[in-house]
């Protein structure tokens, strides 16, 4: 089949000097108003006095009405190439280059009666200021965009968004550049399941490759309406976001995500998951220097491990509290917690015993034997009493 180049409206008007001066006067030299009037006058050349009167009575109302009439003119074409271009651009939430827009256009499900390139179409729309261009690319004028969006069906919006998404997914751009854009427009198209699958697959790959910014874009876009997810999936995405933010050294964001994870898991029977997340949260607090918050979280975790008779959890949490106390130079507390962990670990696995011995050896090397024994003598009564209580609970 031979492609037919559709003759486009040119919006050209041969103004005489007086008519041009009148046009500039009632449009207030506004480029967009001039463009809309020019487009209309290209088919209604005898209407300039009527336009002048309408614009002088109520500029905004006259302009809005004229925009609708010009769009109706574009829609009356067969095929409505200029209108279709406006529809496509109405779904672009950022400026794209002419090359990208042309690539998207070629991926639209047009028949052979549509032009194979957008170049001439964009020039025609630019002539009447329907599209604007700058260094970042080409965008649809906001007033045209509002009018188009008011008319569009969900099916037309989806078709345009899927075409934009497909363009980026199949482009030769690096994955970290194209996949977030493909995901964004796939989600905008309403294909939420497909968008989620793309997000999880690529964010996991990006994290493994150290491309944390791209991974964050995918996950945060999914979580922008997290209420639609089941709790288990929401927790997974929040935890993933926390890991990404940690690697980006966005500690406040990582903490906020983990706080949500802990809150979500507190409403389930997944005690192990909640305590693991709470321990991670405590470590993040400590890394940020908020030791009081870190201690509160660790003590809450310790209390739950005690309640559930989880000796491994008690030992691990005591060791964490001991290390944090040592970093704060609270040496008596550090010795007490490390001593408790080492003593209770005697009935645990070899690896747990070894970790506790290494912690104790570290204290010994840092404090010296005399100072360590002095501190141990001070804290041993309380520590032994705690150890006895734990053994009685078993």
Structural domain spans, the chain: 17-152, 316-394
Cα–Cα distance for residue pair 43/72, rounded to 1 Å: 12
Torsion of CA 262, 267, 268, 270, to 10 degrees: 30
pLDDT score for 83: 94
Cα–Cα distance for residue pair 8/80, rounded to 1 Å: 9
Cα–Cα distance for residue pair 218/38, rounded to 1 Å: 44
Average confidence score pLDDT of the chain: 92
**Residue 345 CA, distance from chain mean position:** 44
> How many percent of the chain have pLDDT more than 90?
83
Take residue 180 and report the two structure tokens written for it. Answer: 């977030």
Instruction: Reply yes or no on whether the pLDDT at 2 is more than 90.
Output: no
343 contacts: CB under 8 Å, gap ≥ 6: 383, 387
Mean pLDDT, range 130-150, rounded to an integer: 94
Q: Express each pLDDT in 242-258 by its tens digit.
A: 999 999 999 999 999 99
- Which of 1-5, 29-33, 117-121 has the weakest average pLDDT? 1-5
pLDDT confidence band for 6 (50 / 70 / 90)? low
pLDDT score for 227: 78
The model scores a pTM over 0.85 = no
Instruction: Reply yes or no on whether the pLDDT at 350 is more than 60.
Output: yes
pLDDT confidence band for 88 (50 / 70 / 90)? very high
Cα–Cα distance for residue pair 339/375, rounded to 1 Å: 11
- Angle value at C-alpha 56, between 54 and 61, nearest 5 degrees: 55
Q: Express each pLDDT in 379-388 by its tens digit.
A: 999 999 999 9
pLDDT confidence band for 113 (50 / 70 / 90)? confident
> How many percent of the chain have pLDDT more than 70?
98
- Cross-strand pairs, 139: 132
Mean pLDDT, range 370-380, rounded to an integer: 94
Helices assigned H by DSSP within the chain: 17-26, 31-41, 48-57, 59-76, 81-90, 98-106, 119-127, 142-151, 154-170, 175-188, 192-208, 212-223, 231-247, 251-266, 271-288, 291-307, 311-327, 331-344, 350-367, 369-393
352-390 as b/e: b if 16+ CB within 10 A? beebbeebbeebeeebeeeebeebbeebeeebeebbeeb
**Residue 208 CA, distance from chain mean position:** 19
pLDDT score for 248: 94
Q: Express each pLDDT in 120-138 by its tens digit.
A: 899 999 999 999 999 999 9
pLDDT score for 1: 40
The answer to whether the beta carbons of residues 104 and 167 sit under 8 Å apart is yes
Mean pLDDT, range 83-103, rounded to an integer: 95
Mean pLDDT, range 319-324, rounded to an integer: 95
Sign of CA dihedral 301, 305, 310, 311: positive
pLDDT score for 194: 94
pLDDT score for 5: 55
The β-bridge relationship of strands 131-134 and 137-140 is antiparallel
The answer to whether the beta carbons of residues 251 and 289 sit under 8 Å apart is no
Q: In the Cβ-directed half-sphere of 393, how many Cα atoms lie within 13 Å?
A: 17
Q: Express each pLDDT in 193-239 by its tens digit.
A: 999 999 999 999 999 999 999 999 999 999 988 778 888 999 999 99
């Amino acid at each position: 089949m031979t492609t037919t180049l559709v003759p486009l409206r040119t919006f050209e008007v041969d103004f005489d000097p007086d008519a041009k001066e009148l046009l500039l006067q009632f449009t207030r030299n506004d480029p967009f108003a001039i463009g809309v009037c020019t487009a209309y006058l290209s088919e209604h050349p005898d209407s300039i006095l009527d336009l002048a009167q309408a614009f002088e009575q109520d500029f905004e109302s006259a302009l809005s009405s004229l925009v609708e009439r010009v769009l109706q003119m574009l829609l009356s074409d067969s095929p409505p190439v200029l209108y279709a271009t406006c529809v496509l651009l109405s779904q672009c939430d950022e400026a794209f280059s002419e090359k990208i827009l042309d690539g998207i256009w070629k991926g639209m499900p047009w028949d052979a009666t549509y032009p194979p390139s957008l170049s001439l179409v964009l020039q025609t729309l630019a002539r009447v200021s329907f599209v604007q261009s700058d260094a970042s690319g080409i965008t649809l004028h906001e007033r045209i965009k509002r009018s188009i969006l008011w008319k569009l069906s969900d099916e037309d919006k989806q078709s345009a968004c899927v075409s934009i998404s497909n363009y980026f997914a199949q482009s030769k751009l690096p994955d970290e550049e194209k996949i977030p854009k493909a995901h964004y427009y796939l989600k905008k198209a309403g294909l939420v399941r497909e968008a989620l699958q793309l997000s999880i697959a690529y964010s996991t790959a990006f994290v493994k490759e150290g491309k944390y910014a791209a991974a964050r874009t995918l996950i945060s876009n999914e979580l922008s309406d997290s209420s639609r997810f089941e709790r288990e999936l929401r927790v997974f995405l929040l935890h993933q976001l926390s890991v990404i933010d940690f690697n980006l050294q966005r500690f406040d964001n990582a903490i906020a995500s983990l706080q949500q994870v802990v809150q979500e898991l507190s409403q389930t029977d997944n005690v192990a998951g909640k305590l693991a997340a709470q321990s991670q949260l405590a470590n993040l607090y400590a890394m940020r220097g908020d030791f009081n918050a870190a201690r509160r979280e660790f003590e809450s975790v310790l209390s739950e491990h005690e309640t559930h008779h989880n000796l491994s959890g008690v030992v691990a949490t005591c060791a964490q509290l001991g290390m944090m106390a040592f970093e704060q130079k609270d040496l008596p507390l550090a010795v007490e917690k490390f001593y408790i962990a080492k003593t209770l670990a005697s009935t645990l696995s070899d690896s747990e015993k070894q970790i506790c011995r290494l912690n104790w050896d570290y204290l010994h090397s840092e404090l010296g034997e005399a100072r360590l024994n002095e501190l141990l003598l001070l804290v041993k009564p309380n520590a032994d009493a705690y150890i006895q209580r734990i053994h009685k609970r078993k």
